[in-house]
Structure 1
Amino acid sequence: MGEELKLFGVWGSPFSRRIEIALKIKGVEYEYLEEDIFHNKSALLLKYNPVHKKIPVLVHNGKPIAESQVILEYIDETWNDNPILPRDPYKRAMARFWAKFIDEKCVPAIWKSLTSVGPEKEKANEEACELLSTLEGELKGKKFFGGETVGFVDIVASFIGHWVGAVQEAAGFDFLTEDKFPVLYKWAEEFKNCPVIKENLPPRDKILAFFKAQLEMLTSFYKNRV
C-alpha cells in the first residue's frame, strides 16, 4: 500500500509500548523513533503533538494521532485483521469503560501508593488496593479481559501486568502479589508469556534500574526539603 507509519515513543513507557503491542498483533510494519522526553524533545514530536508535547504519537501518512487509547482505537479501525476491540457495541463500550478506569483511576493510585512516603503511604495503599479489587472482579472467570485472547483492556493494563512488578521491587514494597490479588497475578503471568507480548515488553532489569534511580531522587527530595 506504500503507507508510511511512524511511532514516536520512549523505550520504558507503558503508553508507547501499548502501541507497539497493538501494531505487532495487527502485523503492521512501522518505523520507531525513540524520544528523549525528559531533556530534549525532538522538533518533530513538538510539531506532531503541540497540545500535550508527549509520547506516544503515531504518524500515519503524515497525519499525527496522539494519546495512547485514541491511537489504539485508530489502529483497530484502520487495520481490520486481529481485532483488539469487541465488534459487539455493548462489549465495545464496556472495554472502553474499563480501559478508562485503568488509566484514570488505577494507574495514578498505584503510582501514588508506590511513591508516597510518610503518612500518605497507608492511605494511598488502601485506595489502590480497593481499585485493584474492583478490577479483579471484572476479570474473574476469564483468561484475559478480552476473553480467550489479548484485547484492548489487556493492552491498556500492561502497566499493571509488567511494570508494577519492577516498580514495587524498586520501592521495596510488595503491592501486587499472588496472595493479595490471585486473579490479577495469574492474568499478569499469562499476559507476559503471550509470545507477541513477551517480545514487545522492555527488559524487567532495565525498568528496575530506571525506577530505582527515579525513586532515590524522589526520596532524597523529601528528606532534604525544608
Structure 2
Amino acid sequence: MGSSEEEVTLLGVIGSPFVCRVEIALKLKGVEYKYVEENLSNKSEELLKYNPVHKKVPIFVHNGKSIGESLVIVEYIDDTWKNNPILPSDSYQRALARFWSKFIDDKVVRSSWKSVFTVDEKWRLKNVAEAYESLQFLENEIKEKKFFGGEKLGLVDISAVYVAYWIPLIQEIGGMELLTTQKFPNLYRWSQEFVNHPIVKECLPPRDPVIAIFKGRYGGRFVSK
C-alpha cells in the first residue's frame, strides 16, 4: 500500500466525468490527494508541463511523475495501492473489464453527447440510434447484478459514471430520453445504486453548475478522455 508521505495531486475541472473517475478510485483506496482546479481556456504552466501531448485533464501526479487519460490513471492507482482492488484478479475478467471500459468511451460517451449537441438533425438522429444501441449492450451486460463486477464497485462501474450521472443531465438539456427505467430497467437500477454509493456520492459534482457548464461549453470540444 502507498505511504501517507507520498505526494499525490490531481489536476481537473468541475463537471468532468473523467476527472470524477479518478476521484472515485482515489476515495475507494483511501488515498489522500491535493486537487487543483484548472481553467481549460487559460491552461496553467503546470498542466502544460505535465501533459504536453494532449493538454487535457485529468492529470495525475504521483511523486513528481505525471499520467494522463482517466482509465490509465485508474489502473495505475489500482496497481500502486493494493487495498480495495478495482480490477478483478482473474486475467480473463480483467480483460473483459478493460473491454467494457473502452466501449463506454468509444461508443457510449461520444454517441450520447452528439445525440444532444449535434445541430444537424440527420446526424443527431443517427447518434441517438447509436446511443440506444450502445446502452442496450450495457443493459445486457449488467443483467441482474448489483455492479458490473458483482457485489463491489469495479473498473466498469467507475468508467460508467458518465452513464449514471452525466447522461441524465445531458438528456435533460436536450429534452430527450436516453436512460430511463422503461427503456433500460437493469441499467437504470444500476445507475441509482451507483450514484447513491457513499464514495461515489462524495465525488459527484453539484448538479446545477454542471448543467451550466454544459450549456456554456456547447459542443464536442468539452468531451475529452
**1:120 and 2:87 matched:** no
How far the C-alpha of 1:209 sits from its partner, in A, is: 2.3
Please, which of 84, 87, 90 is the counterpart of residue 85 of structure 1?
Answer: 87
C-alpha change, 1:186 and 1:123, in structure 2 (3 Å) is same
Alpha-carbon shift at residue 200 of structure 1 (Å):
0.8
Spell out, residue by residue over 1:74-132, the C-alpha distance to the aligned partner (whole angstroms, 9 max, x if none).
Answer: 00000000001001111001000100110111111111112123222222111110111
Aligned-partner Cα distance in 2 for 1:59–1:209: 29
User: What does 1:1-226 align with in structure 2 at a 5 Å threshold?
Assistant: 1=3, 2-37=5-40, 39-117=41-119, 118-215=121-218
Please give the secondary structure, in 2, of the residue aligned with 1:119. helix
Structure 1 outlier segments of 4+, above 4 Å: none
TM-score (norm 2): 0.92
Aligned length: 215
| Greater radius of gyration (CA) | 1
Counterpart of 1:173 in 2: which secondary structure?
coil
Structure 1 gap segments, 5+ residues each: 219-226
Cα RMSD (Å) of the superposition?
1.1
Q: Deviations over 1:123-163 (max 9, x none)?
A: 21111101110111111021111211111100000001001
Higher relative contact order (CA 8 A, sep 6+): 2
Identity of aligned residues (%): 57
**Structure 2 unmatched ranges of 5 or more:** 220-225
Secondary structure, counterpart of 2:203 in structure 1: coil
Q: Identify if the C-alpha distance between structure 1 residues 63 and 157 changes in structure 2 by more than 3 Å, giving closer, same or farther.
A: same
Please tell me the residue identity of whatever aligns with 1:186: R
Asked if the contact 2:14–2:210 (Cα under 8 Å) also holds between the matched residues in 1, the reply is no
TM-score (norm 1): 0.92
